[in-house]
Structure 1
Amino acid sequence: MSRKIAALAAALSAAGLVAAISLSPINPSNAAPSAGPPAADDAMVSALARDLRISPADARARMAREGKAAEVEGFLRTSLGTTFAGAWLDPTGSTLTVGITDPARAGLVRAAGAVPKTVPRSLAQLDVLKSRLDAQPAPKTVPGWYVDVTSNQLVVLTKAGKTQQAKAFAKASGVDTAAARFVISTESPRPLIDVIGGNAYYIGSGTRCSVGFAVTGGFVTAGHCGQTGANTTQPSGTFAGSSFPGNDYAWVRVAAGNTPRALVNRYPGTVPVAGSTEAAVGSSVCRSGSTTGWRCGTIQQKNASVTYPEGTITGLTRTNACAEPGDSGGSWLTGDQAQGVTSGGSGNCTSGGVIYFQPVNEILGAYGLTLTVSGGTPPTTPPTTPPTTPPGGTTWQAGTAYAAGATVTYGGRTYQCLQGHTAQTGWEPPVVPALWQAR
């Protein structure tokens, strides 16, 4: 609260009536609030100037006026109590109007530097009307509704030719149609979240991780980000499977309306995902994450094991590309080929370090997932070149679901399953020590 508003509040408290103190009106010649807002971010100023089609100087002035208006509105919202009926700026952001239900409070509004307007319903009364609509299932012909403080009404949107259904919805909710305005709308609201690798998502009460790669029905990510059953937001979904420690992979099944895309965020821009052919040691690799963006390095070793405080993770790929907390679960690419999801490591993106990723083909095989790729069906890309003909003395079979602890033979040798998965060609026991241990 600015010093002038604080002084006004003190005067009101002491005198019990509208003070003779005058706050400067909110207008272009008086742009800066008395306490001063934080300095405007250059990128925000540029975006505002671009989209509102005004100059950068006008954008800065507008932001300053809006900062002052927010202070005034907050003061009047409290001071006017149940007579407050909302506040709004004119299209230029120069004049703040405040609705009141008691004309006797107009002097207080003027003293605070705003313009009073007497209206029949308080904001609290309008909010009650809206809550009645919120409590009822809406017909599909009603795209939405909101409180419009400028007209002191509840606005109900309706499809063309369906106004009577909208009125019936309002009436059934207990809303007096005299307090509502029914507006024809072409809106078709839907969630606008594309599932893109490297983007942030949130788990539970706000823990942040990064999307790995979009798959049919959701996305893959790191297992340490959430346990099976944990809920996510942005996009909304649920961990359908998670393995950590031992492994560090998981997949999230997203809610309807979220669209898996064959893309990874490059910060800025995106890159396509065309498949998951495994790159060789020494290959360049780039990763995307919501903390440090797009970083690159080289693949140093494969089938590495690393011991975290929670336990040992096996079958990881070791790199010299950096990452930091919040990047976990994010995408690793060589060219347009998916490689894995960020697990963890040492160092940071200032001093450098060693970071490990969980190979993506193992995750896809473990959960029977299909990678979302550009151009249609992903190519068959086993992690290594398989033998063309299984040797004698083999009970292992591609397509069979194996549980941890199961034993098979391959080439006359016995192997024990380390983690549950569905076998596929290219994942024969001798070539995937992360899945099978020779006995």
Structure 2
Amino acid sequence: MQPSAPLRRVATLAATALAVVAAVALSPHSAGASAGRPAKVMTPAAAGQLAKSLAPQLKGAAAGSYYDRTAKKLVVNVTTPEAAAKVRKAGAEPRKVQFDDSTLAATMTTLNASEPIPGTAWVPDPRVNKVVVTADPTVKGAKLARLTTVLKPLGEKVKLERTDSELKMFLSGGDPIYGSNVSSVRARCSLGFNVKRSGKPDAFLTAGHCGNPIRSWATSDSGEEIAVTTASSFPGNDYAIAEYVAGAPEHPSEVNLWNGDEQEITAARDAVLNEDVQRSGSTTGLKSGTVTGLNATVNFPEGQVRGLIQTNVCAEPGDSGGPLFSGSDAIGLTSGGTGNCTDGGTTYFQPVVEALTAYGATVG
């Protein structure tokens, strides 16, 4: 949305622009995938639901899953032939791997319990069956030595990658949602999703690192107040909610596509690894990419955030707080990352379902 446009055209993300993590070559080995029934063709949303229902049935023999965009099927990592048979029967494709969920979860716990090193991030990646650790160019000298000390005992369960740009958040001056004329902070972020709550004023979600400093919002720099931040969570999480005041512009459940059209948002769900997604931002407009990781931990200079969605969708300053979505489904809120929309990079998103649950809110 531009400052003069109605609020319904605002939708996007303020700032994080993305870690250029080297692409990982994948060579999945199916666990007897050629035997029995073939994997079902399904949408990413259906694949996500199937993955959730399968996990408890595999009784510790699961090791994550991801969506095969080309074949439109769910691939489920397993560690036993029995689990492979169950996966195949359910309509997904089994893939035999070394490390199970509990092993990778324990690895994440170890990393999360270590002293945070700004400029680092880690995420379990079922496609390589390891926890991928990313370090930006600021991780050198003593910081790199500390990271090496943490990673060495974890052995083959981790993989270290370097980025060529700094991991950071982007809270900057500009449009489309600003600190208002009564705000003490003149920064700019992006609106994520408009939401409703029973018995309370309509509201919108944005990033917590935006809601912490900006308590009053406008559609132009130092403009008239249109919303007030009522709750914000950062670090740890990265979400905030702002209630519209009387007389605010119309605010339907839509995302601005920056081509004269809007995408209606009717539901919210969790992201699915390897699915196609889009992000709308006030600085860079509409950008597309894929989900490259789930449950990521990111150590920003401002603090650590856990449980984030990792993507290869680019972003730049002014995009923070904006929406990540797939069709009419809301998925996330822009948090931060490295890179830019010229060279590419990695961007992290706060899962929107967690924010909606925290505030008792719904989209649509």
Normalised by the size of structure 2, how large is the TM-score?
A: 0.48
Tell which structure's C-alpha radius of gyration is larger: 1
**RCO greater where, 1 or 2, for CA within 8 Å and sep 6 or more?**
2
Higher fraction of helix: 1
